Amino acid sequence: MNTKRRAIPISLAFAATVALTAVTLGPVIGAVKVDTSALRDAVTVDGVRAHQAAFQMHADANGGTREASSPGYFASVDYVANAMQTAGYDVTVQEFDFPFFQELEDAELEQVAPVPTVYPYFDAAGFATMEYSGSGDVMATAEGVDLVLPPGAAANTSTSGCEASDFAGFTPGNIAIIQRGTCTFALKAQNAEAAGAVGVVIFNEGQPGRTAAFVGTLGGPGSTIPVVGAAFDVGVELAAGGVTVRMFVNATSEIRTSKNVIADTPGGRDDRVVVVGAHLDSVPAGPGVQDNGSGSAAILEIALQMADLGIEPRNKVRFAWWGAEESGLLGSQHYVDNLTKREIKDIALNLNFDMIGSPNFVRFVYDGDGSATPLAGPNGSKNIESVYLNYFAKQGLPVEPTAFDGRSDYGPFIAVGIPAGGLFTGAEGIKTDEQVAIYGGTAGDQYDPCYHLACDTFDNISLTALDQNSDAVAHSVLTFAMTTSSVNGTDKGEGLGKWKDGMEYIADKLQK
């Protein structure tokens, strides 16, 4: 799952609020009743785990990772593509370029003089590396650039570093101390580098809610100097005059190549395509056998069992394994960007399964109608949600809503108006006492304690969650594969407009 560096006490640009009350039975609209028991019986935990074991083997043989441009990832691509082709699916491997960023060591920021101070890395009171920062180990005089101290009453009142003229008189070879606000971090860093800065510290603006260190992005590779985001107080100290600063960033920032695997059922209506997706890549730190080997393995086993049972879907089912999700949903975005208007219209819905076996799990269902979370999906998303609510209710299994917060591969589909839904068992969120009473597990621990770490291995799993959710995934895939109704034909919810407004707000906050 994307936007998942590490859990830190740091001020992020956006945080979604998830309701924690159990969801009860709701109506099913836009889907006929389908007997999914044979498929659910055929999809076993052992079958899903066999694919996870293969993913673990691919990582073990290739440096312990299945990052989207790594040999371990490409071995996983070959494994999935070969299995689907052998089963009789029409398989396409879609290659694309993407911006890659990885910190190789913890960054360092310190005031050398006059008051020696080491600022804490990835801490609200310290600093964090900007995504796509360049590398460097530099020591130089700090120089403030067009600062507003004290800050204005409203956010984005600072234009520090937004114009080349801000750097008139800037001393080449110094480290630029720039205030957050108005324009993108990338523009501030570009202007500083063009003026001869050897490093850039962009510190928070200073109004209430904009004081802590933050995680920002430069939008893509290009910077050749270290760039970090810092707390307001850190910036004020460094810009005081006569301050010597040392910065150290060791990172890889470059364009790389990855692949999506797309596999279609040979039959089914091609004007009502059901896209079933899961991202196949891991973060660089580990093999990603739960995130997202769980979702990837489950949809692979479902596809293979559908073929083995001879199921002929009424609607074409398109199974997709996305690359570079961990770099920003880039594989699914590439796929959607290359669809024609006709092809977009022909996709009935997108089902997304990103982490379905978290060890300290909660059964989350995406909140299609936005009734309990900030954003609704496009028309039809409510109907997808209802299929899961009814299924779990019949199994006597309580669930909770989770928000369409833009953190997984449904995002590009929703952005073009395609209904979406799916399941999730939790990442870096903390399990509550109330959730323990419902689902078991450990209060105060993350849903997935190995989230984005090297320990996300074959053993990092809840077999109970994997079993229950694999069955639910199979049920939903077959339900929509066989439906005779349009998923979005009768749903009159908030839909795309509400989603787009919310995502424009999030993107603005992330960039500035």
What is the CATH number for 71?
3.40.630.10
pLDDT in tens, 165-188: 999 999 999 999 999 999 999 999
**Residue 31 domain flag:** no
Instruction: For 293-356, give the DSSP string.
Output: HHHHHHHHHHHHHHHHTT---SEEEEEEEESSGGGTSHHHHHHHHT--HHHHHHEEEEEEES--
pLDDT in tens, 150-160: 887 777 789 99
Q: Which domain holds residue 232?
A: 105-249
The predicted structure's pLDDT at residue 512: 55
Q: Are residues 366 and 273 in the same domain?
A: yes
Q: Are residues 294 and 208 in the same domain?
A: no
User: What mean pLDDT is predicted for residues 90-114?
Assistant: 97
pLDDT in tens, 453-493: 999 999 999 999 999 999 999 999 999 999 998 887 544 33
User: Final residue of a domain: which of 249, 280, 300?
Assistant: 249
* d(C-alpha 234, C-alpha 211), whole Å: 10
pLDDT for 52 beyond 50: yes
The predicted structure's pLDDT at residue 488: 72
The predicted structure's pLDDT at residue 27: 40
Instruction: Choose among 150, 101, 141, 103: nearest CA to 122.
Output: 103
Instruction: Choose among 287, 329, 257: nearest CA to 76.
Output: 287
- 71-86 helix and 293-308 helix, angle to the nearest 10 degrees: 20
Q: Are residues 245 and 287 in the same domain?
A: no
First to last CA, the chain: 23
pLDDT in tens, 290-314: 999 999 999 999 999 999 999 999 9
* d(C-alpha 239, C-alpha 463), whole Å: 53
Q: Are residues 112 and 96 in the same domain?
A: no
The predicted structure's pLDDT at residue 507: 44
**Residue 495 domain flag:** yes
Whether omega for the bond prior to residue 150 falls within 30 degrees of 0, making it cis, is yes
**Residue 174 domain flag:** yes
Q: What is the DSSP letter of 366?
A: E
Q: Choose the weakest-confidence range: 5-14, 129-138, 501-510.
A: 5-14
Instruction: For 236-271, give the DSSP string.
Output: HHHTSSS-EEEEEE-EEEEEEEEEEEEEE-SSSEEE
CA distances (Å), 37 to each of 41, 151, 351, 478, 484, in order?
6, 62, 19, 10, 19
pLDDT in tens, 277-288: 999 999 999 999
User: What mean pLDDT is predicted for residues 377-400?
Assistant: 97
User: Do 487 and 450 form a contact (C-beta atoms < 8 A)?
Assistant: no
The predicted structure's pLDDT at residue 378: 96
When divided into structural domains, the chain yields a total of 2
The predicted structure's pLDDT at residue 7: 35
pLDDT in tens, 63-85: 999 999 999 999 999 999 999 99
User: Do 60 and 287 form a contact (C-beta atoms < 8 A)?
Assistant: yes
CA 448 to chain centre: 15
- CB burial string 472-493: b at 16+ within 10 A, e below: bbbbbbbbbbbbeebbbeebeb
User: Final residue of a domain: which of 249, 278, 312?
Assistant: 249
Q: Are residues 488 and 355 in the same domain?
A: yes
Q: Are residues 441 and 402 in the same domain?
A: yes
**Residue 30 domain flag:** no
**Residue 12 domain flag:** no
Q: Are residues 95 and 129 in the same domain?
A: no
Dihedrals φ, ψ of 378, to 5°?
-60, 165
Q: Are residues 112 and 54 in the same domain?
A: no
User: Do 394 and 35 form a contact (C-beta atoms < 8 A)?
Assistant: no
Q: Are residues 435 and 377 in the same domain?
A: yes
Q: What CATH number is associated with residue 165? A: 3.50.30.30
Q: Which long-range contacts (CB under 8 A, 24 or more apart) does 166-169 make?
A: 166/191, 167/191, 167/192, 167/194, 167/195
> What is the reported pTM?
0.84
User: Final residue of a domain: which of 249, 265, 280?
Assistant: 249
Tokens for 74, please give them. 């490409």
Helix, strand or coil, per DSSP, at residue 44: coil
The predicted structure's pLDDT at residue 152: 79
User: Do 412 and 2 form a contact (C-beta atoms < 8 A)?
Assistant: no
Q: Are residues 336 and 478 in the same domain?
A: yes
Q: Are residues 269 and 233 in the same domain?
A: no
**Residue 332 domain flag:** yes
* d(C-alpha 348, C-alpha 487), whole Å: 7
pLDDT in tens, 194-251: 999 999 999 999 999 899 999 899 999 999 999 999 999 999 999 999 999 999 999 9
pLDDT for 11 beyond 70: no
Catalytic positions are 325
**Residue 285 domain flag:** yes
User: Do 243 and 111 form a contact (C-beta atoms < 8 A)?
Assistant: yes
Q: Are residues 335 and 243 in the same domain?
A: no
**Residue 15 domain flag:** no
The predicted structure's pLDDT at residue 32: 55
DSSP β-ladder status, 199-203 and 227-230: parallel
The predicted structure's pLDDT at residue 497: 40
